Amino acid sequence: MADLVTHVAVANLLGKSSRDDRTRALFLVGNCLPDVAYKGMLWVLGAPNWYCEPANSPLALIPLCFALALLFEEPWRRRAFGALLLGCWLHLLLDMGKTYLDHGVILWAFPFSMARVELGWYHPADMTWMFVPSLGLLIITELLARRLGRPL
């Protein structure tokens, strides 16, 4: 939960730069998409962990975002694809800072390489401590946007 709030808080802050509400919403959805795809394959489909890991790969997310963009009307598909993909890539950049037992989970070049990347700045358990500041960032961003007349 704390990880999701942190992802949404950062995406909400960066998404405020878009004046289009649909683009901003898709950016937020795209930011949650890698975890939704990973956990959906893992828990709903019962797939093994090694099968789900490409959901955290920038190249593997391109066809997923493309397929989701096809659900929108044709003139809007390019913008939907871009917002979804940028949101996904922001998610991966945030996750790259975690340490996953020094093994990494971001497959930057999948399917061309299974090499994993991590920076190891913080442990996943530290996300619990980041919950309150992330929630505060989310609330402050939203209040400022509403005060300036640009609510989400």
Burial pattern 81-109, b for ≥16 Cβ within 10 A else e, equals bbbbbbbbbbbbeebbebbeeeebbbbbe
Q: Residue 74: how many CB atoms within 10 A of its CB? A: 7
CB distance 83 to 30 below 8 Å: yes
Whole-model pTM: value is 0.79
Q: Residue 15: how many CB atoms within 10 A of its CB? A: 25
Task: Round to the nearest angstrom and report the end-to-end CA distance of the chain.
Answer: 22
The secondary structure of the chain in percent helix, strand, coil, rounded to multiples of 5, reads: 70, 5, 30
Q: What is the pLDDT of residues 71-92, one digit of tens each?
A: 999 999 999 999 999 999 988 8
Residue with tokens 């598909």: 77
Q: What is the pLDDT of residues 37-69, one digit of tens each?
A: 988 988 988 888 778 788 888 998 999 999 999
CA distance 28 to 5: 11
Q: Which residue has the higher pLDDT, 150 or 35?
A: 35
List, in order, residues 6 or more apart from 13 with CB less than 8 Å away: 137, 141
Assigned token pair, 82: 């871009």
Q: Quick check: 30 pLDDT over 90?
A: yes
Structure confidence at residue 116 (pLDDT): 75
Q: Quick check: 18 pLDDT over 60?
A: yes
Q: What is the pLDDT of residues 96-129, one digit of tens each?
A: 877 776 666 777 878 787 777 777 677 667 666 7
Residue with tokens 């959901």: 55
